[in-house]
Structure 1
């Protein structure tokens, strides 16, 4: 299903620095998710620069594993699903709607990819492609709190779209549909998704004029104690318990920032194209 026969598992695990047990246990899943989220880079450069993102496994692992590039949720999930399939985990893929506090009665498109793993008698939400993803799986039960990482997440079973119930992932904040101190990050149902379904969502996100990832580049890097985000030319550093700090960067500074802060490598031609496109955004905004 997930082309795991084409996976270079040893190269992937070497990138993660993982040499632990490969048995399909909860301990293995926890260790792999933590290592993946902290190591494999998250970026939308291909959408912004080329309006195309390849989802076949050889292309994904070439970019994310061998070349040190960054990808978004569909790419991360295609890679991680192949890993879980190779290791013998039982799981399904699902799609989510990223709300970030918006009213679910005006649903956004289901363009976020996740996995649900069945391990040791329980079901676990595995979300490795959000950027600021949880560092460990979260048990799929109402009221579960995932506290691995700089910020917790809360799972609730509730109305998610127009009278339909499903799962809502909450993050700290204030929103119309979460308990006090929480806002809805994304919602999803358990309807199984397959590679062909992700290909459809990926086409919209990568190429449609209304996709935010086509309009500007967005890059994130999560560490155990901070989150760096680059939204076009705005670089934000967020730490738990502190106000985020945002500064503007010049187009010519971005390729160096990507490498030094975000760990995303770009070749000379791609870096030059990125600078030109960012300079165009800067002119349009002035």
Structure 2
């Protein structure tokens, strides 16, 4: 996984200093060290960082919540990677968490700490298309150009999505190609061959100044029982007092005369 991120980062044309968001026990950092990169890793879990210290990893370790910003000097990093971490910013795990504010803080601080022309590659697993769109949207608002690259798009097990971002580019940046089913490289736009499991297809390539047009919502299909249950669960995560779910929840009432 780290080698693939390194490949997408294209370190051959950038400097050696890398930021890892969600570094965990430092296993991925060891691969970066072997390839001659200096790195700084942050993680929200103290126990995972303790494991990294016990393993004597060579990177600098920070106990930090990336949803509150990265807290580094502007332009100090030559690149950034993350493995299966940024999707958690889309969730409200605590009543104090507001996903939009956390995404804004993360991508804003990431943009500031990267050198101009540097690249960030964030591997993620999105629950749905909406989460992917949230990640791309806040990255573009922070000033990045880029988009989503998908490896093995038709595999339910091997499929992986990468948010590939370039810092300080005002025009649309060209994206690397994703890996195909037989090891060949395939464009991230060639993934719609009718595979029903491929729900969250690539979002595409975007420039930092792209228009933010909202799609019209079909209220008839979007406000049923499932929508109501999701809204109630969101309110519970925010600490609100919400009535318990019953067999009558979301049931359409008959019109009384």
TM category (shorter chain) comes to 0.3 to 0.5
TM-score, normalised to structure 2, is 0.36
The structure whose RCO (Cα within 8 Å, separation 6+) is larger is 1
- Structure with the larger strand share: 1
- Structure with the larger helix share: 1
TM-score, normalised to structure 1, is 0.33
* Rg (Cα) greater in structure: 2
